[in-house]
Amino acid sequence: MNVLLSLGSAVKIGYKKGTPLHDQKTCYLMMEGECNAGCLYCIRPKDKNKLSRIPWYSYNLEKAIPKIESNFERVCIQTVNHSNFLSEIKEIASKFSNSIPISVSLSLKEYNGIENLYGYVDKVGIGLDCARKDIFQNFKPYYNWDKTWFGLKKATEIFGDYNVICHLISGLGETEEEMINTFQKLYDLKIYPSLFSFTPVSKVDCFGIGPPDVVSYRRIQYAHYLITSKIKRYEDMTFNKGRIIFDEKDKSYLKEEIFLTRGCPSCDRPFYNESPRTIIYNYPSTESVNLSRIKKEIGI
């Protein structure tokens, strides 16, 4: 069967020419086919060869597997929503040996059947994406807010504590406080929140929304670290008109790893959200983090 490999994944195993700017740890592959979800911030329904700003290329999965397993630490399956796609996830995952762990990133209209992925993947990423219900309804009309929260809880019961990762997108109209509150709600449910920045892509109608303010994004990343490291809870944080205010003790925890891509183990998603020539929102490695610049950005 054929699947789509991200450009960086294809370069690392020698299928495409290029000079990697990061030693990618996770192989990102995507199911072929049309997506019927139509999320307003996503280019995939309009361009089946793209997800976010990354181009994808079709290859024979069986032939690629030996190269993938010898070059990567993890496989992440990106899904498109069409009929019977849970069976297709199982088919893709079953072709790999047990030598490499597999994650799957998905959104479902109904979460009946997600238990059938148990034993095939060890991590499940679910796209809540929006920190507020009205934003969700505007951008993801195919899906249901309450059913997505139900799916997150159900998946955690099946796959175990913190083996479910909830994807969130910053920059869709929420405040810092609303995003950080969502982090806490998820983490209390033993679901790991994974933060990404909104990526404006041409040909996608997103009401003229641009990428999030990087200084605000850094504050949200820092709060994410404080919560997921159990240093501080949302209830103990200070906000002014939706913006988080850090105290002196908070500032003592600043380090490079806070600003990396947050998701499954080995998740790096290099340059999914931005060109390497522009502002980096989620850094793929600690070596690429300019901590002194970030300190200036967030006023520490």
- State the CATH architecture for 2-297: Alpha-Beta Barrel (3.20)
Residue 35 has pLDDT above 90, yes or no: no
pTM as predicted: 0.94
Q: Look over the chain and give the mean of its residue pLDDT values, rounded to a whole number.
A: 92
Q: What is the mean pLDDT of residues 6-31?
A: 93
Residue 275 has pLDDT above 90, yes or no: no
Lowest mean pLDDT among 174-178, 228-232, 260-264: 260-264
CA distances from 33 to 52, 58, 114 (A): 16, 11, 20
More confident residue, 159 or 295: 159
Q: Who's near 6: CB < 8 A, 6+ residues apart? A: 28, 29, 30, 51, 54, 55, 56
Residue 161 has pLDDT above 80, yes or no: yes
Each residue's pLDDT tens digit, 121-146: 999 999 999 999 999 999 999 999 99
| Most distant pair of Cα atoms in the chain: their distance | 55
> Which of 22-36, 87-101, 193-207 has the largest mean confidence?
87-101
Look at residue 205 in the predicted model and tell me its pLDDT: 54
Each residue's pLDDT tens digit, 214-224: 999 999 999 99
